[in-house]
Amino acid sequence: MTVDQVRTALRERIARGASLEELQTLVGMARGVTERQRAVLWSEAWRYDPRRANLRRIEGVRSLLGKSRPPARTARTR
């Protein structure tokens, strides 16, 4: 696996709710990755937050559509 493939797999598994043992196994068993790259991948796994990544994607789509912020919510009256 390349470093990018391992990074993608880590992100997918973190978003799915993988355990630390599963992530450690993934990083530890990746072939063709140096110890330095393993350390970098492991530190990225610790810092990765799928909620922030999704927020960045949403903001990117909004900017493409020309919307700077979500529409205001209005209270419904009966």
Assigned domain for 78 exists: no
Q: Which domain holds residue 14?
A: 3-65
pTM of the predicted model, to two decimals? Answer: 0.59
> Measuring CA to CA, which residue among 73, 29, 49 is closest to residue 5?
29
DSSP assignment string, the chain: --HHHHHHHHHHHHHHT--HHHHHHHHHH-TT--HHHHHHHHHHHHH--HHHHHHHHHHHHHHHHT--SPPPP-----
Assigned domain for 26 exists: yes
Q: What is the mean pLDDT of residues 38-63?
A: 77
Give the number of domains in the chain. Answer: 1
Indicate if the pLDDT at residue 70 is higher than 80. no
Q: How far apart are CA 41 and CA 36, in angstroms?
A: 9
Which of the pair, 35 or 59, is modelled with greater confidence? 35
pLDDT tens for residues 3-28?
Answer: 899 999 998 998 888 888 898 899 98
